[in-house]
């Protein structure tokens, strides 16, 4: 079945560092791909999405490109801030539901 694999956390970075969180997927066809973020004590919220190959989703300085050839959707940000500390989930749409990665906890130190 369809699945999503994310890099394990926690990922700890210093403020202004470059961020990459890897996400790869297994799916039939070309599913829509999503990154959700969960800040401490809150629900998940959509960070960005891409609906077809080579699409780039971007929001709040974060970017991810839908790479069909490598079945990947890695999340990147050029300069992270302390306020980016959260858990990040990669997901794909499969029929009527979202298939989720395990989540990657990101810790940004000042």
Partner 1 sequence: DSGVTQTPKHLITATGQRVTLRCSPRSGDLSVYWYQQSLDQGLQFLIQYYNGEERAKGNILERFSAQQFPDLHSELNLSSLELGDSALYFCASSVGGGGSRAFSEAFFGQGTRLTVV
Quote the tokens at residue 75: 């999340």
Question: Least distance from C-beta 49 to partner 1, angstroms?
Answer: 6
Question: Least distance from C-beta 107 to partner 1, angstroms?
Answer: 17
Question: Least distance from C-beta 101 to partner 1, angstroms?
Answer: 8
CA-wise closest residue to 101 among 110, 109, 89: 89
Quote the tokens at residue 43: 């629900």
Owner of token pair 């971007």: 58
Question: In the complex, which residues of this chain contact partner 1 (CB under 8 A)?
Answer: 32, 34, 36, 41-46, 49, 89, 93, 95-100, 102-103
Residue count of the chain, please give it.
Answer: 110
Question: 7 or 98, CB closer to partner 1?
Answer: 98
- Name residue 3's beta-bridge partners: 26
Question: 45 or 79, CB closer to partner 1?
Answer: 45
């Amino acid at each position: 079945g369809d699945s999503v694999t994310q890099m394990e956390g926690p990922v700890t970075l210093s403020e202004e560092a470059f961020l990459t969180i890897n996400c790869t997927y297994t799916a039939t066809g070309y599913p829509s791909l999503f990154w959700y973020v969960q800040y401490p004590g809150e629900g998940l919220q959509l960070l960005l999405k891409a609906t077809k190959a080579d699409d780039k989703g971007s929001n709040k300085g974060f970017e991810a490109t839908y790479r069909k050839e490598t079945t990947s959707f890695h999340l990147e940000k050029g300069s992270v801030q302390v306020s980016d500390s959260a858990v990040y989930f990669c997901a794909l749409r499969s029929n009527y539901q979202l298939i989720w990665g395990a989540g990657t906890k990101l810790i940004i130190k000042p």
